[in-house]
Structure 1
Amino acid sequence: MDRATSSRRAAASPADATESTDAGSDHAIYQAIYDGVMHHRLLPGTKLPEPELCELFGVGRAVVRRVLERLAHEGIVTIRPNKGASISAPTPEETREIFEARRAIERVLVELAVERATSRDLKMLRQQLAREHDAMHRFDQPAWARLASDFHLQVGALAGNPILLRYLKELISRCSLIVGLYEAPGNAPCEHDEHTAIVQCLADKDATGAIALMSAHLSEIERRIDLNGPQGEKTLAQMLGLA
């Protein structure tokens, strides 16, 4: 290696290190907020003050703003001029539209999953059901909520269409916002027995049955939504799982 090449690499390395650090910080902040929504710790309307996020994660405002803008693009966060960012709070009309869209997406995904799921895929889904069953009997509500969402993502992944799966991930995040705010405490976001019945339809290659069960399952989740449900009071660090 000649001296000029060595000098160029040495000069570039601090910037590369900074870029790598920023990317790691972006991921950490994004994942903490996303997980807070999925685990129903961060409720709709929760404020996300930039100074507090900077302090909690030890980063500058540019990093925090970049993450909040990404979350806003995905519909998880709302950014208002001069008011800052907060977790999105879907209206009753938006709630209806989100569930309507999710039923349409999951109808297509479950139909493709019936066609494409292998015996190995079904084994993995049954392992998922066993973990759900265990969390349910341990009364571990956060794990129960996470596993319920993971089940739908696993079924969606079996369809083999990453574009539809990306849409489903966004819709599940937004449904988790709604459930986290309005679902009665202690209720399962999804019923374990309904998941079990859907997996059996996949095993039986019964697309009609799987579609009907999934549609009814999502409609039941929407039916249980109480738009007058109370919100809890926690610090931002607690809701992000940092305290």
Structure 2
Amino acid sequence: MDISFQTDAPRERKDAAAAGDRASAIVRSIEAAIVGQRLPPGAKLPEDELGAAFGVSRTIVRAALRMLAQDRVVTLAPNRGAFVSSPTVEEARQVFHARRVVEDALVREAAARCDEADLDRLRSHLDAERDALRRGDRSAAIGLSGEFHLLVGSISGQKVLVTFLRELISRSALVIALFGTTRESSCGSHDHAEVVEALARRDGEAAAAIMADHLRHIEHDVELSGEPRPSVRLADVLADLRR
């Protein structure tokens, strides 16, 4: 009896897993570039250039773009290709509302669960944020700011909500890129430090209040009553994504 299909199955599964890992790596890099505002809303994401930048096939690139489209941070346009999404004013309002609801729940749970090791990681992360701000590296500071919110969320143990928060952070970065009224990041390390100190006291109520004010400050830095600002055209943005 021919059982060659049985012996090939483990290799096929291994190849599929490796392809999935490569696609996920592309997703993480593009999300980081969006959060860091290196990829602006409306930016085209050509499959061939992405494949060359990451050293992968167009099949893997397409898988990554489909994953990003599911999170609504990329738009797939028939016969036109993939683009970084450009949220509408109504979508922007809903994104911020969702962040307030989700992060309230996450920070309260994090206050109940965090230990000294968690606090050490948070404080080390704050040091990295402050260092980026001192260097004037705005892109890195914005990216680290988003990571802070995800780190707090991870302490909560609520993996489903954290996955949703990751999408919301990417989408709010697009909103800020389109509608932001200042060049500075509103998501500063001072508010983050106050959140950490509330977590250290295991004071979920205070942590939630500080986080709510913090998110309101971010939202107030965007002007949702008019036309979005034109997207910045970046000549070689894919070079920033190369690992």
State how 1:59-78 maps to structure 2 within 5 Å. 59-78=56-75
Per the alignment, residue 182 of structure 1 pairs with 179
TM-score by length of structure 1 reads 0.86
Per the alignment, residue 221 of structure 1 pairs with 218
Gaps of 5+ in 1: none
Q: Would you say the 8 A contact 2:53–2:238 is kept in 1?
A: no
State how 1:164-183 maps to structure 2 within 5 Å. 164-183=161-180
Aligned equivalents of 1:52, 1:85: Cα separation in 2: 12
Aligned equivalents of 2:11, 2:204: Cα separation in 1: 55
Aligned equivalents of 1:211, 1:16: Cα separation in 2: 44
* Structure 1 position 241 matched with structure 2 position 241: yes
* Structure 1 position 152 matched with structure 2 position 179: no
Larger radius of gyration: 1
Q: Would you say the 8 A contact 2:186–2:221 is kept in 1?
A: no
* Percent identical residues: 36
Aligned equivalents of 1:15, 1:161: Cα separation in 2: 33
Aligned equivalents of 2:132, 2:230: Cα separation in 1: 25
* Aligned-residue RMSD, C-alpha: 2.7
Give 1:232's aligned amino acid. V
Q: Would you say the 8 A contact 2:42–2:231 is kept in 1?
A: no
Gaps of 5+ in 2: none
Q: Describe the superposition over 1:40-65 as per-residue Cα deviations: whole angstroms up to 9, x where unpaired.
A: 11111111123333343444433222
Aligned equivalents of 1:201, 1:30: Cα separation in 2: 33
1:27 to 14, 20, 24: 24
Cα distance change on mapping 1:25 and 1:205 into 2, 3 Å: closer
Per the alignment, residue 86 of structure 1 pairs with 83
Cα distance change on mapping 1:76 and 1:240 into 2, 3 Å: farther
2:121 to 120, 124, 127: 124
Q: Would you say the 8 A contact 2:65–2:82 is kept in 1?
A: yes
Cα distance change on mapping 1:189 and 1:23 into 2, 3 Å: same
Give 2:229's aligned amino acid. G
Aligned equivalents of 2:83, 2:118: Cα separation in 1: 38
TM-score by length of structure 2 reads 0.86
SS of the residue corresponding to residue 142 of structure 1 reads: helix
Cα distance change on mapping 1:163 and 1:27 into 2, 3 Å: closer
Q: How far apart are 1:23 and its partner, in Å?
A: 3.4
Q: Would you say the 8 A contact 1:56–1:237 is kept in 2?
A: no
Q: Would you say the 8 A contact 1:45–1:87 is kept in 2?
A: yes
Per the alignment, residue 44 of structure 1 pairs with 41
Q: Would you say the 8 A contact 2:39–2:84 is kept in 1?
A: yes
Q: Describe the superposition over 1:126-168 as per-residue Cα deviations: whole angstroms up to 9, x where unpaired.
A: 2211221221111111221111111111111111111111111
Q: Would you say the 8 A contact 2:74–2:85 is kept in 1?
A: yes
Q: Describe the superposition over 1:176-232 as per-residue Cα deviations: whole angstroms up to 9, x where unpaired.
A: 222233335641241211111111111222222211111111011011014533422
Q: How many residues align?
A: 239
Give 2:242's aligned amino acid. L
Aligned equivalents of 1:13, 1:158: Cα separation in 2: 35
Q: Would you say the 8 A contact 2:43–2:233 is kept in 1?
A: no
Cα distance change on mapping 1:56 and 1:241 into 2, 3 Å: closer
Cα distance change on mapping 1:65 and 1:206 into 2, 3 Å: same
Aligned equivalents of 1:23, 1:108: Cα separation in 2: 31
Aligned equivalents of 2:21, 2:61: Cα separation in 1: 12
SS of the residue corresponding to residue 217 of structure 2 reads: helix
Q: Would you say the 8 A contact 1:148–1:189 is kept in 2?
A: no
Cα distance change on mapping 1:172 and 1:57 into 2, 3 Å: same
Aligned equivalents of 1:115, 1:15: Cα separation in 2: 44
